[in-house]
Amino acid sequence: MFSNIGWSEMMILLVAALVILGPERLPGAVRWTTQSLRQVRDYASGATTQLKQELGPEFDELRKPLAELNELRGMTPRAAVTKHLLGGDDKILRDLESAVPDKKELFGTSSGMPGAPSSTPSLSKPLTPNERPPIDFDAT
């Protein structure tokens, strides 16, 4: 539920709660929050089971297209080729990747062009406001 909140954010929330509520009211607030979250989770699971009971087999028919849509959401071009054309075996693609050298191995630089500098040149000084950037005549 809180998978996108890290430990640092949790610590900031805890310190903020400690400052706002104070040490005497903080345990009660934490207890109330956990009980509320548990109750909301119970309501959600109860609603799901009630929906399953009322719809019966139609609920599975409703979930089937949603499951297929969820499967398509995670489908990448590589996964699609592997699943539909290669029958789920991606050994051919892995062998192909290992056989083709990357640009750095091929040319010795990261740009792919022989003799090109390996890193982008940096400006000697930052541009001042309203100053025009230098023109690369080879590129224009």
* Whether the Cβ atoms of residue 81 and residue 97 lie closer than 8 Å to each other: no
Binned at pLDDT 50, 70 and 90, residue 140 comes out as: low
Residues 112/102, Cβ–Cβ less than 8 Å: no
pLDDT band at 105 (very low <50, low <70, confident <90, very high): confident
Residue pair 17/31 in contact (Cβ under 8 Å)? The answer is no
Collapse the DSSP code of 129 into the 3-class scheme (helix H, G, I; strand E, B; otherwise coil) and give the result.
coil
Q: Nearest 10 degrees: CA dihedral of 130, 134, 135, 139?
A: -120
| pLDDT over 70 (residue 110) | no
- Residue-wise pLDDT for 76-94, tens only, equals 888 888 887 888 788 888 8
Average pLDDT, the chain: 80
